[in-house]
């Protein structure tokens, strides 16, 4: 299957040269390295937490598998990966991210490794509304070559306020929302939405994986779109 894609890779390189920095928003941001590597299995490390919220890492990790699996990739069980790392003296995501790729290959033998960061997490309260903000960034790296196959980021924000009852109604709505949030934090649900936007969005630069029934159609569709862009 890989040999048949070589002409497409050459075409993709040509498109990149022709379009340069003038690419429009409808250009599919799939890298040539991603197309060439065609990873089948992905190892996801627990995300680094760049926030002050202790729930951010595992709140994000909890929903990261589904968009990748539904896109057609084998994802190493994230709980198992975390447990193996901890049992080998690596209790924090920072230490896990510091493990040499050669060691990760020795233990798990993945095709690619997904490194994630949580850049925003949690709910802030203003006088008349609350705002929950989740930010996630990531990079997919070829385990054999160390080449970056994909990178991206997303921020999902959910605001809550009351639109009626004047200032008294808005204050009452904000208070009710703060009480509800203290009982049931919406951050995990918004993190799941962020993971879908980052890893499951067809415009974010991910190809369908080899276990997806429409993977060949996906490649053909990409080829047709690129050809349309360079046609006179």
Q: What is the mean pLDDT of residues 107-117?
A: 97
**What is the pLDDT, as a whole number, of residue 199?**
95
Q: What is the mean pLDDT of residues 120-147?
A: 83
**What is the pLDDT, as a whole number, of residue 207?**
86
Of 36-40, 50-54, 90-94, 181-185, the range with the highest mean pLDDT is 90-94
- Residue 128 in contact with residue 171, Cβ under 8 Å? yes
**What is the pLDDT, as a whole number, of residue 89?**
96
Distances (CA, A) of 200 to 146, 170, 214, 215: 23, 36, 15, 14
pTM of the model: 0.76
Reported as a pLDDT band with limits 50, 70 and 90, residue 27 is very low
Reported as a pLDDT band with limits 50, 70 and 90, residue 56 is very high
Distances (CA, A) of 224 to 24, 36, 217, 218: 16, 18, 10, 10
Question: Taking all residues of the chain, what is their mean pLDDT, rounded to a whole number?
Answer: 80
Please, what CATH class does the domain formed by 31-212 belong to?
Answer: alpha beta
Instruction: Kindly state the DSSP code that residue 195 receives in the 8-state scheme.
Output: H
If one compares 9 and 143, the residue with the highest pLDDT of the two is 143
Q: What is the mean pLDDT of residues 100-124?
A: 93
Q: What is the mean pLDDT of residues 47-62?
A: 94
Q: Is the pLDDT of residue 23 over 50?
A: no
If one compares 229 and 187, the residue with the highest pLDDT of the two is 187
- State the Cα–Cα distance between residues 99 and 195, nearest whole angstrom: 24
Q: Which of these, 91, 95, 71, 75, lies nearest to 83 by C-alpha position?
A: 91
Reported as a pLDDT band with limits 50, 70 and 90, residue 218 is confident
Contacts 24+ apart (CB under 8 A), 137-141: 137/198, 138/114, 138/198, 138/199, 139/114, 139/115, 140/34, 140/39, 140/42, 140/112, 140/113, 140/114, 140/115, 141/101, 141/112, 141/113, 141/114, 141/115
- State the Cα–Cα distance between residues 147 and 42, nearest whole angstrom: 14
**What is the pLDDT, as a whole number, of residue 173?**
55
- Residue 63 in contact with residue 191, Cβ under 8 Å? yes
């Amino acid at each position: 299957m890989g040999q048949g894609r070589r002409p497409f890779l050459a075409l993709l390189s040509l498109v990149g040269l022709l379009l340069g920095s003038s690419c429009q928003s409808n250009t599919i941001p799939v890298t040539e390295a991603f197309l060439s590597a065609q990873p089948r299995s992905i190892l996801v490390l627990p995300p680094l937490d760049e926030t002050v919220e202790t729930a951010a890492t595992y709140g994000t990790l909890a929903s990261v598998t589904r968009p990748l699996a539904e896109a057609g990739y084998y994802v190493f069980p994230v709980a198992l990966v975390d447990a193996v790392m901890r049992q080998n003296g690596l209790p924090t995501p920072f230490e896990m991210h510091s493990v040499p790729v050669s060691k990760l290959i020795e233990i798990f033998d993945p095709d690619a490794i997904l490194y994630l960061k949580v850049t925003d997490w949690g709910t802030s309260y203003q006088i008349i509304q609350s705002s929950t903000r989740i930010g996630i960034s990531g990079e997919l790296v070829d385990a054999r070559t160390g080449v970056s196959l994909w990178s991206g980021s997303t921020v999902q924000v959910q605001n809550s306020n009351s639109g009626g009852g004047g200032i008294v109604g808005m204050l009452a709505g904000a208070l009710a929302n703060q009480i509800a949030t203290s009982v049931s934090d919406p951050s995990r649900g918004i993190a799941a939405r962020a993971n879908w936007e980052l890893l499951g969005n067809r415009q974010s630069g991910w190809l369908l994986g080899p276990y997806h029934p429409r993977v060949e159609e996906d490649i053909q569709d990409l080829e047709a779109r690129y050809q349309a862009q360079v046609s006179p």
